[in-house]
Amino acid sequence: MNVEYTGRQYEVTPAVRKQVEHGLGKLEKLFGSTFDSHVILT
């Protein structure tokens, strides 16, 4: 699973990354680890 983060007027901290990756872990169970995602935080 590749995750790309974009923060628009928002700092993407390690804690935020951890929370997002936890949520994406649920999708990983459905799709497997062969998907890419682009997370935009505003």
Say if residue 35's pLDDT is above 90.
no
The per-residue pLDDT for 16 is 94
Specify the number of domains making up the chain.
Answer: 1
d(CA 14, CA 24): 15
Structural domain harbouring 31 = 2-41
Say if residue 33's pLDDT is above 90.
no
Close Cβ partners of 14 (under 8 Å, ≥ 6 residues apart): none
Mean pLDDT of 14-34: 89
The per-residue pLDDT for 32 is 84
The per-residue pLDDT for 17 is 94
Q: Report the greatest alpha carbon distance in the chain.
A: 32
Residue type, 6: T
Say if residue 14's pLDDT is above 90.
yes
The per-residue pLDDT for 2 is 87
